[in-house]
A and B are shown apart, each in its own frame.
Chain A
Amino acid sequence: MYNNLSFRMIFVMVLITAVSGLVLSGVWSVSVEKIKKNETIRVEEALYSINPQVKSFKVKVKNGESIYECYDKDKILKAYFFLAEGNGFQAPIKVALSVDIDWKNITGIRVLEQSETPGLGAKITEDSFYDKFSSLTLLEKPVVCIKEKAEKTNSEIRAITAATISSQAVVDLINKKIKILRKAGF
């Protein structure tokens, strides 16, 4: 009797887990392509929305760092585009950034991933924050995040009220990534 019961317990559990595994592998194999595609779609959407004049791009890898070279309709290099990641208030922030070909000005930014506080840090995904970055000058100096009322120079960003940490985090991860890319030879 006892053996009979143990056998039944093992049999039922093996059967349930096997069916579960089978079903899940089916669902996964159907969806995996779509999930991967979602990622690339997001990146490309950011690229084209920052640089409306850009019609095509090419990924270039140098010293382990990759960058998107953006071309307009006449195949002229218009901008560089790259992804940067760093720590936010609680979780990592991932942004897409575009700079002009001389590395003098930032042309635009989009936040791809963030889990900042809704209503506070999450404001880094709003257009008003993106706008602060367009035509920001780099001048070999890192971008500075300030708390004063207005930006004094062209390489300053005024932090979002009540979201200084998130604003600073975005600025820091941009500066870090630009430094790495310049070092890698871009």
Chain B
Amino acid sequence: MSNSPVQEFTKGIWKENPVLIQLLGMCPVLAVTGTVVNGLAMGLATSFVLICSNIIISLLRNFIPKQVRIACYIVVIATFVTMADIFIKANFMDISKALGPFIPLIVVNCLILGRAEAFASKHSCFKSILDGLGMGAGFTLGLILISSVRELLGNGSILGMSIIGSWFKPWLIMVLPPGAFIAMGFIVAGMHVIKEK
């Protein structure tokens, strides 16, 4: 059974959303979603790496011997991660400081290696691009959703702009690590309620 090109793209956003359904790459999801800006930057950086590595790996899929494929994938992924890290450092100093080690840690995000192994190594370049775009968009949207909830409840703002008036006492726990788990839990639960209807 093979998906149509449109399905290859949309499955990452809804049916197989990496954050909310597959629960892949939870480390950055929980760690950097304190503010929407950080969540968005993380999502975009991960999407960039995911799309680029999907392209290269699908192009090289008949060239790489299967015994050393994982090592080769990691080298390809690490190359793009380092490129993204250097780019962010050169152009978005504040975001680089805020995300700290989590940009280099995209290398070990299981979402990217997972897509390389499960999809890009078995499909054409075109389909792998669609898969990367869809999964990247799904990952970014998931991060934006969680970080919006956390920033709104924990700081009363979205993207640094105050949304709720000063009467609102921020729930500080939402910007602390436990808040990540709480927000995540409720969002994933809500997602399943919607899905099963």
The answer to whether A17 touches B154 (Cβ under 8 A) is no
On whether the beta carbons of A31 and B87 are closer than 8 Å, the reply is yes
Q: Check B97 against A113 for contact (C-beta < 8 Å).
A: yes
Tell whether A115 is near chain B: CB-to-CB under 8 Å. yes
Q: Are A16 and B86 in contact, CB atoms less than 8 angstroms apart?
A: no
A112 CB to closest chain B CB, in angstroms? 9
Contact partners of B63 in chain A: CB under 8 A: 12
Residue of B nearest to A13 (CB): B68
Q: Do A16 and B76 touch across chains, with their CB atoms under 8 A apart?
A: yes
Question: Which residue of A is nearest B99, CB measured?
Answer: A115
Tell me if B155 is interfacial: C-beta within 8 Å of chain A: yes
Residues 50-99 of B contacting A (Cβ, < 8 Å): 60, 63-65, 67-68, 71-72, 75-76, 78-79, 82-83, 86-87, 89-91, 93, 97-98
- Taking CB atoms and an 8 Å cut-off, the chain A residues in 1-39 that contact chain B are 5, 8-9, 12-13, 16-17, 20, 23-24, 27-28, 31, 34-35, 38
Q: Mark out the residues of chain A between 110 and 131 whose CB falls within 8 Å of any chain B CB in the assembled complex.
A: 113, 115, 117-120
Known pairs A27-B86, A28-B86, A31-B86; A118 contacts B65 (CB<8 A): no
Given A118-B35, A120-B172; A23-B68 close (CB under 8 Å)? no
Task: Out of A9, A20, A38, name the residue touching B65 (CB < 8 Å).
Answer: A9
Tell me whether A34 and B68 are in contact in the complex, defined as CB-CB below 8 angstroms, given that A20-B76, A24-B79, A117-B175 are known contacts. Answer: no
- Which residues of chain B are within 8 angstroms of A147 by Cβ–Cβ distance? none
Q: Does A104 contact B (CB under 8 A)?
A: no
B76 touching A42 by the CB < 8 A rule?
Answer: no
B154-A119 in contact (CB<8A): yes
- Binding site of A, secondary structure by majority: helix, strand, loop or mixed? helix
A34: chain B residues at CB < 8 Å are: 90-91
Residues of A within 8 A of B93 (CB): 38, 42
Count A-side interface residues using an 8 Å CB cutoff: 25
If A13-B72, A31-B90, A34-B90 touch, does A23 touch B65 (CB 8 Å cutoff)? no
CB atoms of A117 and B176 under 8 A apart: yes
In the assembled complex, B5 has its CB within 8 A of some CB on chain A: no
Q: How far is the CB of B130 from chain A (nearest CB, A)?
A: 24
For residue A76, which residues in chain B have a CB less than 8 angstroms away from its CB? none
Which residues from chain B sit less than 8 Å from chain A, CB to CB?
34-35, 60, 63-65, 67-68, 71-72, 75-76, 78-79, 82-83, 86-87, 89-91, 93, 97-98, 100, 154-155, 170, 172, 175-176
A-B contact pairs, 20 of them (CB 8 A): A8-B65, A9-B65, A9-B68, A12-B68, A12-B72, A13-B68, A16-B72, A16-B76, A17-B75, A20-B76, A23-B79, A27-B83, A27-B87, A31-B89, A34-B91, A38-B90, A115-B97, A117-B176, A118-B35, A120-B176
